[in-house]
Amino acid sequence: MGRFAIIANARTGSSALAAFFRDLGLHVHPEPFRPSKWGESNPPDYIVELSNIYSRGAHAIKHLTNHCSIEDNIEIVTWLMRNGINVVHLHRKNKAMNAISFMLAMQHEQWELDRKDVVQATAYDEMPVGHIPVDWIREHIAKQDEMNDVLVKLLPPSHLECPILHYEDFFGGVPFGILEQRVLNLLIILDIYIPPDSSIEYLVREMIREHFSPDGKQNPPSIYYRIPNWLEIQQEFGIDL
């Protein structure tokens, strides 16, 4: 079984993807470079920390690019690739909605939410929602585009072993047959073998239904309609819920 790393933008379903791999029995180290773990003034030695994580038996890490500078992310991704670790990039096609989700998480100070937990989801949806400046959304998109462009350029000519995934392709409510094939293809790329026509394959299919359900990830339209300047945002970015 190969080692890999999920290199994700925030608010792209990376926690759900990591949870799926954990349910498969893999050790996925969560967000090793989150600033709250180290303190803003005391960043870790990224290479030493990565070496320690994988040498202790981790199959993968889940890393959010907003936790580090562009230069530090280049160092991280370059080390991963040089050491034969498959890099899976996770982005979101709808960049404006990605930015809005990021701001809502900041306003609510809650970055992980299981919508199957009705009590937790209801409490989240009833929290006050503040103004989200259009200029801030543009700036967030520009910064994330710059980060993604730099990191994607590090990929080898063939992206087969370093795929670029998108939130919408896994959590956007696509037909289950298509979703299932996408997930199974990803497992093949990552050298995770699932015996065909077996009880294990049946369990994996059930895990796919559980972890990639849009009901478990997507915010309801009502939360966006409560943003005070939602009409302005819709008109500026052409958002259609």
What does the pLDDT profile of the chain (241 residues) look like in tens digits?
A: 789 999 999 999 999 999 999 999 999 999 999 988 887 667 789 999 999 999 999 999 999 999 999 999 999 999 999 999 999 999 999 999 999 999 998 898 777 766 666 666 677 777 889 999 999 999 999 999 999 999 999 987 765 567 899 999 998 888 999 999 999 999 998 999 888 777 888 889 999 988 887 665 567 788 899 999 999 999 999 998 7
Burial per residue of 68-85, b for 16 or more beta-carbon CB atoms within 10 angstroms, e otherwise: beeeebbebbeebbeeeb
Residue 217, strand partner residues: none
Q: What is the pTM of this model?
A: 0.90
Give the integer Cα–Cα distance in Å for 183 and 169. 10
Give the integer Cα–Cα distance in Å for 209 and 120. 21
Fold (topology level) of 4-237: Rossmann fold (3.40.50)
Residue 133 tokens read as 């400046």
